[in-house]
Structure 1
């Protein structure tokens, strides 16, 4: 890539570049480009036009630290990284006769800066001919010159360190110079074959959880909430086992309701919305067991000799249903009070919030002291007429929309007439 002559090659190429650029001006044809320290640049009474190049600082290149040399080191091989360097040059102009008749130093500086502005990259041919035996011209990354905008304070500190009088100067950065390490690359023997057909081994991490996981609860067709007696389909993965049961948790239940799965595979479970029968227990789908409202559903998998595994929980809304024959007619007492009495399933508990939605108006239920299916609503502020009704228990409404038709429509039977 480049040998230790790389730094000298950059300096020599810069000298040739400035010599050609500055002397192209007939007024500056006598200019000499030197490469001296600043305290020795203008000696022996020299009063001719002169441009001096001084390499005053060298820093490691942050971009090339610990990077392998391109084209030399292959993946998996070990090699000493190349030495990447940024070079900092100070270009100083000395005018003819010390500018006594004309500001030649200013003219020199203008020509030098214009030359580097038009020619910021060193070409391979320029580097190759500038210094014998250098191989910097083979470097993959080209050397670029960039003007360094120093402040007055920075210039003062710089020249104080030189311990000489200040002269008109500008600073440039040359980056990057790569010096190749002389240490040999450590390269193991190549792999004989990488997988079938030498195409490499393909692998993909398994993003699935190692535990039973529910992804979706599928309701019967044309339903947005579940009802007692429905068959639910639970989909996910790792759901198979010796014994599969589904747990339904509700805030008003001290223990979850447990239902055995009807069918079960590794990715799908079906379950009938009921409670398992035990000795002396109510009927499987007894509405007294299931409060309406929001449930959390999880799957419990039991395998012989192993600890039971429980899946994640997913929400399920169990909607109430009006069991009174509909359409129905509310009653108006002699005192003008309109009362609507109906029965529902599941039964309502005292802790639940119950309302009857008459059209767009919410009518609160009369308080219930015990768990019951008998509800009564005193309707006020509703004009006589026929209205669609919905029973709302803990935020879950009874089903009003008929989705079995091509275009969903309201169920015409779900109405009450207010006299």
Structure 2
């Protein structure tokens, strides 16, 4: 790795290399001067043969950008990768004086390109001698100098940016330069045990279950406590399996053992109501859930299927089925109980109202009590629904041959 002197060390090494090697290739270059100036000011005050080496662009190296440094970061450790850079140089040649009748600039350019061709990998000793206190020579990757092909249009735009007249030039890339990150490396403690009983990684050849569809009873828009849902999919089974119901309103998911469905590739899951489970009123909350199938064979890690959305509709009981026209309060109870923060609305006919009060009795087996205030209600029969977090109560009686609105879900106003 190298410190922040790496870029300067690379430039100085290239300059020293060119200055030392080019006169040996061409005796006419004994008075050669190698400069590091921007091209628009490089020739000012100089009349000798000259080569200008200018660093015009620094880009991130894509291959090393997110690569841990070999030998320094072990598996499980985290450390910021080094700053990996590619350096782009343009070399420009001049002859002696203002005119170049003997094309000496071409000889300068050819000698420079020949030197960089023969010394395509920078020598460690050359790097160390180029700049004090640099440690570029110690980095794990060698610095290679290669031609960077440029079209006429690319060169034209480059010299336009330099704001000076174009001269014949060549472009080279020096890569890669790795600069140490100053951020701390994090090394976790050694692993004492690999899983339960130090058994290491467990693998199973079976595929996880995949759920394709969820069917509500009687093609309803939601399910209620006391009803069943049907899960359809692939790799479904009841052995070591539970249907997992998750909701943001619950502290923990609810697991229910499924039963075989009516057809192959299906499972039936029953949601117990308060008559079957005394804690059902507080165990659940009306609203939106996700359901997945979780299978955990003995001694193996669990397999979880994909999740499907599910709406759990509240069951409501109206305090009164009749009311006088005008203004009145409507009381009702809701099972399962409503949690804090849930969005609750009453759909009274075509009206939507927010509750005046919501209260959960101290006895967790009792339903939530709600009060709504209605004004200017005309005579008529109104179907009542309660919407909790987007899940509506179901005001339909399915006991007859044809579904009809349930009488106990309606208020007759006279």
Structure 1 length normalisation: TM-score? Answer: 0.48
Larger radius of gyration: 1
Structure 2 length normalisation: TM-score? Answer: 0.48
